Amino acid sequence: MTGAGAGPTAPGRGPAGGGSLRLWLALLAAVALLTFATSGIGPFGISYESILRVWLSPFFQGAASGVGDSERYIVVHIRLARACLALMAGASLGLAGAVYQGVLLNPLADPFTLGISAGGALGASLAILFGWGGMHFAGMSGLPVAAFAGSMGALYLVYMLGRVDGKVHSTTLVLAGIMVSTFLSAWISLLKSLHEDSVSTIVFWIMGSLSGKGWLHALLIAPYLLAGSATILAYARELDCMSLGEVQAMQLGVDVPRIRLTLLVAASLITAAAVAVSGVIGFIGLVVPHIVRLCIGPGHRRLLPLSLLLGGVLLLISDTLARSILPGGQELPVGVLTAILGGPFFCHLLLRRKKNIQL
Amino acid sequence: MPSAIAPQEEHPALIRVRDLHCGYPGRPVLQSISFDVGPGELVGVLGPNGSGKTTLVLALSGVIPIERGSIDVMGAPIDSQKAKERARRMAVVSQEADVKFPFSCEEVVRMGRYPHRGRWRGNAFRDEERVNWAMDAMDARPLAERLITAVSGGERQRVMMARALAQETPILLLDESTSAMDIHRKLEVFRTLDALSREKGLTVLTVLHDLNLAALFCRRILLLRDGRVAADGPPERVFTREILEDVYRSKVLVREIEEIGRRQVVFLP
């Protein structure tokens, strides 16, 4: 991301890390531009000029004067809302993936492969089944809370199953995750089949979709994402030290048990928030940290914020494709798309055993 | 069991171990270990496999809990110290050495500054100075840009040693930290450690397998057998035929090399 001339040894890393303010502003501008570009895509044709006018109307009075009400509604309450939601959900998954990989020292770990997403989906669908999905608890919905409980349950289960003789083994952990994920998905299917025969909602939870979501959902997950990612970003240095292994990290002065727990809880919280509004979207959390690591190296002070950003961008692109790729105008669940794109990547990681990513 | 003789009574002990029992669930390892280490000592911890050398390092660094007895480091019990506070007093190079992500060697050395930093800022200038010094002391400068996942075992040990020196602690604990190095590298590292302990008062406690390397550099040997202290003292008192044959259970020749004034040990076939 910074200078490209650092050679093949340590690709493009400045001495102190951190990254310059200008770089971050440029990246944020790129995200805004991408959001703008995707806002023009959809079954209802809206010109980019109208979109720009609507976007500028809060700052310049009368900028949107020539734009019709329905167009204005679509731009703000459908396309922009959905883009923001995609950015936030993707950011959650990308960041959570980076944390799981860093804490568990496992390149295959992500919210999906560890079964955290499935746990969250089961929690959320139970909440809906029992009617806790509305807005109560002082203006907060019970949905993310239930999803969080489900995620933590799944995490606990996977961690217990993945441990052999008190040691967590990478491949065992992922096997346990896939097993728990399948098991919990089956329960979601069963619950939904028993409760209502709407197959589409089952597909929503298991394959993930942002269809029909708006500002309400974006507001719902924003506080969780903010709190979770602020916690995670504060522990970048500790995550670096933890790459040396548990014992060495402790000897370096990292309070490993406490920080590991904090990070896992925070990552599961943001995963659960994403799952509560989008269902299970796989592979974003797996792919994103690897791409970022290839570009700027493994230092978490840059890896974490960039995973957050790239996760959002990747899900925004995937979601735009998912809602526009079919010629008939129907939507594809975005989870289908990420799985089709991410599955081969997962196999690639599994088969490669490259020197610098050890299993 | 002869109780260890505190060797440097005039100094206050930096490390003070009393009647230490510890180990792993269902497997006690150390049994009633007692010794003191004063400032500027260079102590070699030796003993056959399974005698408890690594366990001692893990206990001293607070990684595994103490079952009975006590370890005081710089006057405070080890288990009452916060991890960061402990890491400002004692740097450790453990055997567990594989790094999972492709950090550059310089980034790994820089991690040694972790205990000196607050959450958001630290003394960047001091960090830089100390990291550079540590890299030079271990001759790790040529490795700076290489990836820790791609260097050889001996090179990685050099980087880990530099990381520990960057930690800027009065105590250094090493567990077989030179085992994969070439002989000339080993000698260089030990010369550096010897100089640091004599001139800067650095206290070094190092686990070793190589008796002759220990005899060249360590001014005190702590010989362990079956989780107990079998002998504790300067090499000329510990490296005797009787003690070594008893601990290692094989025939040895011990020779005084007059040119260097040190003992060397040969195990007989």
Write out pLDDT tens, residues A17-57: 445 788 889 999 999 999 999 988 887 888 888 888 888 88
Q: Quick check: B83 and A254 CB within 8 A?
A: yes
Q: Quick check: A244 and B111 CB within 8 A?
A: yes
Structure tokens at B127: 């960090």
CA atoms within 13 A on the CB side of B224: 29
Chain B interface mutation, best of A108, A248, A304, highest count of B Cβ atoms under 10 Å: A248
Q: Quick check: A250 and B63 CB within 8 A?
A: yes
Nearest-CA neighbor of A250 among B85, B37, B126, B74? B85
Sorted by sequence, the CB contacts under 8 Å of residue B122 that are 6+ apart come out as B113, B116
Does A347 touch chain B if contact means CB atoms closer than 8 Å?
Answer: no
Per-residue pLDDT in tens (0 to 9) along chain B, 269 residues? 444 444 444 557 899 999 999 998 888 999 999 999 999 999 999 999 999 999 999 999 999 999 999 999 999 999 899 999 999 999 999 986 678 899 999 999 999 999 998 766 667 788 899 999 999 999 999 999 999 989 999 999 999 999 999 999 999 999 999 999 999 999 999 999 999 999 999 999 999 999 999 999 999 999 999 999 999 999 999 999 999 999 999 999 999 998 988 999 999 98
Q: Quick check: B96 and A247 CB within 8 A?
A: yes
Does A245 touch chain B if contact means CB atoms closer than 8 Å?
Answer: yes
Q: Identify the pLDDT of residue A19.
A: 55
Distance CA A52, CA A75 (A): 10
CB B61 within 8 A of CB A250: yes
How open is the CA angle A108-A109-A110, to the nearest 5 degrees?
120
Q: Identify the pLDDT of residue B141.
A: 94
In this prediction the ipTM stands at 0.89
CA distance A34 to chain B (A): 31
Q: Identify the pLDDT of residue B122.
A: 61
Does A193 touch chain B if contact means CB atoms closer than 8 Å?
Answer: no
First to last CA, chain B: 30
Q: Which of B96, B101, B114 sits opposite A237 (nearest CB)?
A: B114
Q: Phi/psi at B28 (nearest 5 deg)?
A: -70, 140
Provide block-wise average pLDDT over 10 residues at a time, chain A (359 residues): 38 47 90 92 84 86 79 88 94 96 88 90 82 56 83 90 74 86 88 67 74 85 93 95 92 93 93 89 91 90 95 94 84 87 79 53
Q: Identify the pLDDT of residue A343.
A: 81
Q: Quick check: B147 and A356 CB within 8 A?
A: yes
Structure tokens at B178: 């030179």
Partnered with residue B229 across adjacent β-strands are B224
Matching residue, tokens 């006590």: B70
CB A356 within 8 A of CB B147: yes
Q: Identify the pLDDT of residue A37.
A: 92
Which helix (H) or strand (E) element contains residue B28? strand B27-37
Q: Quick check: A255 and B83 CB within 8 A?
A: yes
Which letter does DSSP use for residue B5 in this model?
Answer: P
CA distance B25 to chain A (A): 10
Q: Which residues of A160-185 are buried (b: 16+ CB within 10 A; e: fewer)?
A: ebbeeeeebebeebbbbbbebbeebb
pTM of the predicted structure, to 2 decimals: 0.87
Q: Identify the pLDDT of residue A166.
A: 67
Distance CA B228, CA A284 (A): 53
Q: Identify the pLDDT of residue A89.
A: 95
Q: Identify the pLDDT of residue A173.
A: 82
